[in-house]
Amino acid sequence: MRSARGRGRRPARAYLAVALLAGSCCFSCKSDAERAHQGQVARLAERIDRLRRADNDAKREPLAALAAVPCPDADACALQDLCLRGYRLHQSALDAIAALDRLSRSDATPPADVGQRLAQAQRDLTQAKSLTEACAEQQIRVVRHALVGGR
Protein backbone atom coordinates (compact mmCIF):
# COMPACT_ATOMS: atom_id res chain seq x y z
CA MET A 1 0.00 0.00 0.00
CA ARG A 2 1.28 3.44 -0.86
CA SER A 3 1.43 6.32 1.47
CA ALA A 4 -0.54 9.50 0.87
CA ARG A 5 2.74 11.25 0.22
CA GLY A 6 3.65 8.86 -2.63
CA ARG A 7 0.28 9.29 -4.31
CA GLY A 8 0.72 13.04 -4.35
CA ARG A 9 4.02 12.85 -6.23
CA ARG A 10 2.78 10.73 -9.06
CA PRO A 11 0.31 13.34 -10.40
CA ALA A 12 2.94 16.05 -9.95
CA ARG A 13 5.40 14.01 -12.03
CA ALA A 14 2.74 13.43 -14.66
CA TYR A 15 2.01 17.15 -14.82
CA LEU A 16 5.72 17.86 -15.07
CA ALA A 17 6.07 15.33 -17.91
CA VAL A 18 3.09 16.84 -19.73
CA ALA A 19 4.49 20.36 -19.24
CA LEU A 20 7.89 19.29 -20.57
CA LEU A 21 6.26 17.59 -23.54
CA ALA A 22 4.13 20.66 -24.27
CA GLY A 23 7.16 22.90 -23.90
CA SER A 24 9.20 20.80 -26.29
CA CYS A 25 6.32 20.92 -28.80
CA CYS A 26 6.29 24.70 -28.58
CA PHE A 27 10.03 24.81 -29.11
CA SER A 28 9.79 22.53 -32.14
CA CYS A 29 6.86 24.56 -33.51
CA LYS A 30 8.91 27.72 -33.22
CA SER A 31 11.80 25.92 -34.82
CA ASP A 32 9.54 24.78 -37.68
CA ALA A 33 8.23 28.32 -38.03
CA GLU A 34 11.76 29.68 -38.04
CA ARG A 35 12.81 27.17 -40.69
CA ALA A 36 9.77 28.10 -42.78
CA HIS A 37 10.66 31.78 -42.46
CA GLN A 38 14.24 31.08 -43.48
CA GLY A 39 13.00 29.10 -46.49
CA GLN A 40 10.79 31.99 -47.60
CA VAL A 41 13.66 34.46 -47.29
CA ALA A 42 15.92 32.06 -49.19
CA ARG A 43 13.34 31.76 -52.01
CA LEU A 44 13.10 35.54 -52.23
CA ALA A 45 16.90 35.85 -52.33
CA GLU A 46 17.11 33.17 -55.01
CA ARG A 47 14.58 35.05 -57.20
CA ILE A 48 16.58 38.24 -56.78
CA ASP A 49 19.77 36.40 -57.76
CA ARG A 50 18.11 34.95 -60.87
CA LEU A 51 16.97 38.41 -61.89
CA ARG A 52 20.39 39.91 -61.26
CA ARG A 53 22.15 37.21 -63.32
CA ALA A 54 19.72 37.33 -66.25
CA ASP A 55 20.85 38.99 -69.44
CA ASN A 56 19.22 42.36 -70.09
CA ASP A 57 17.03 40.95 -72.85
CA ALA A 58 15.82 38.16 -70.55
CA LYS A 59 14.93 40.06 -67.36
CA ARG A 60 11.14 40.23 -67.84
CA GLU A 61 10.40 36.67 -66.70
CA PRO A 62 12.57 36.75 -63.57
CA LEU A 63 11.17 40.22 -62.78
CA ALA A 64 7.63 38.84 -62.89
CA ALA A 65 8.71 35.82 -60.82
CA LEU A 66 10.19 38.10 -58.15
CA ALA A 67 6.98 40.12 -58.01
CA ALA A 68 4.99 36.90 -57.45
CA VAL A 69 7.02 35.66 -54.46
CA PRO A 70 5.24 36.21 -51.14
CA CYS A 71 7.40 37.99 -48.60
CA PRO A 72 7.40 36.64 -45.04
CA ASP A 73 8.00 39.82 -43.04
CA ALA A 74 8.46 43.58 -43.23
CA ASP A 75 12.22 43.41 -43.90
CA ALA A 76 11.76 40.92 -46.73
CA CYS A 77 8.90 42.99 -48.20
CA ALA A 78 11.05 46.13 -48.10
CA LEU A 79 13.83 44.21 -49.85
CA GLN A 80 11.45 42.91 -52.50
CA ASP A 81 10.03 46.39 -53.07
CA LEU A 82 13.50 47.95 -53.39
CA CYS A 83 14.65 45.31 -55.87
CA LEU A 84 11.44 45.53 -57.90
CA ARG A 85 11.72 49.33 -58.12
CA GLY A 86 15.33 49.10 -59.26
CA TYR A 87 14.86 46.38 -61.84
CA ARG A 88 11.57 47.79 -63.15
CA LEU A 89 13.26 51.14 -63.71
CA HIS A 90 16.15 49.32 -65.38
CA GLN A 91 13.73 47.46 -67.67
CA SER A 92 11.87 50.68 -68.49
CA ALA A 93 15.13 52.41 -69.44
CA LEU A 94 16.16 49.47 -71.62
CA ASP A 95 12.74 49.55 -73.32
CA ALA A 96 13.13 53.28 -74.01
CA ILE A 97 16.59 52.75 -75.48
CA ALA A 98 15.30 49.89 -77.65
CA ALA A 99 12.47 52.09 -78.92
CA LEU A 100 14.96 54.85 -79.75
CA ASP A 101 17.15 52.31 -81.53
CA ARG A 102 14.20 51.18 -83.65
CA LEU A 103 13.45 54.81 -84.45
CA SER A 104 17.02 55.40 -85.58
CA ARG A 105 16.82 52.43 -87.96
CA SER A 106 13.57 53.53 -89.57
CA ASP A 107 13.20 55.91 -92.49
CA ALA A 108 10.82 58.10 -90.51
CA THR A 109 11.89 61.51 -89.37
CA PRO A 110 12.89 61.26 -85.72
CA PRO A 111 10.73 63.13 -83.22
CA ALA A 112 12.08 66.39 -81.84
CA ASP A 113 12.41 64.99 -78.31
CA VAL A 114 14.78 62.10 -79.16
CA GLY A 115 17.64 63.71 -77.25
CA GLN A 116 15.46 64.29 -74.22
CA ARG A 117 14.18 60.73 -74.29
CA LEU A 118 17.71 59.37 -74.51
CA ALA A 119 18.87 61.61 -71.66
CA GLN A 120 15.94 60.43 -69.53
CA ALA A 121 16.78 56.79 -70.26
CA GLN A 122 20.36 57.44 -69.20
CA ARG A 123 19.20 59.09 -65.96
CA ASP A 124 16.89 56.15 -65.34
CA LEU A 125 19.74 53.69 -65.85
CA THR A 126 21.88 55.63 -63.39
CA GLN A 127 19.10 55.61 -60.79
CA ALA A 128 18.37 51.93 -61.49
CA LYS A 129 22.04 51.13 -60.90
CA SER A 130 21.91 52.82 -57.49
CA LEU A 131 18.70 51.01 -56.57
CA THR A 132 19.95 47.59 -57.69
CA GLU A 133 23.22 48.07 -55.80
CA ALA A 134 21.18 48.97 -52.70
CA CYS A 135 19.08 45.87 -53.40
CA ALA A 136 22.21 43.68 -53.33
CA GLU A 137 23.41 45.25 -50.07
CA GLN A 138 19.98 44.94 -48.43
CA GLN A 139 19.68 41.35 -49.64
CA ILE A 140 22.82 40.43 -47.73
CA ARG A 141 21.50 42.06 -44.54
CA VAL A 142 18.06 40.44 -44.77
CA VAL A 143 19.41 36.97 -45.52
CA ARG A 144 22.04 37.23 -42.79
CA HIS A 145 19.41 38.36 -40.28
CA ALA A 146 17.05 35.52 -41.25
CA LEU A 147 19.72 32.82 -41.18
CA VAL A 148 21.94 33.96 -38.34
CA GLY A 149 20.23 36.63 -36.29
CA GLY A 150 16.77 35.17 -36.13
CA ARG A 151 13.67 37.26 -36.59
Angle at 117 between CA 111 and CA 121, to 5 degrees: 155
Instruction: Answer yes or no: are the C-beta atoms of 78 and 48 closer than 8 Å.
Output: no
The full DSSP string for 6-67 is HHHHHHHHHHHHHHHHHHHHHHHHHHHHHHHHHHHHHHHHHHHHHHHHS-GGG-HHHHHHHH
- Per-residue pLDDT tens over the stretch 65-105: 999 999 999 999 999 999 999 999 999 999 999 999 999 89
Q: Please list, residue by residue across 26-51, b when 16 or more beta carbons sit within 10 angstroms of its beta carbon and e when fewer do.
A: eeeeeeeeeeebbebbeebbebbeeb
- pTM of the entire structure? 0.76
Going residue by residue through the chain, which has 151 residues, state the pLDDT in tens, using 9 for 90 and above: 444 555 555 554 544 444 444 444 444 455 888 899 999 999 999 999 999 999 999 999 999 999 999 999 999 999 999 999 999 999 999 999 999 999 989 988 888 999 999 999 999 999 999 999 999 999 999 999 998 875 4
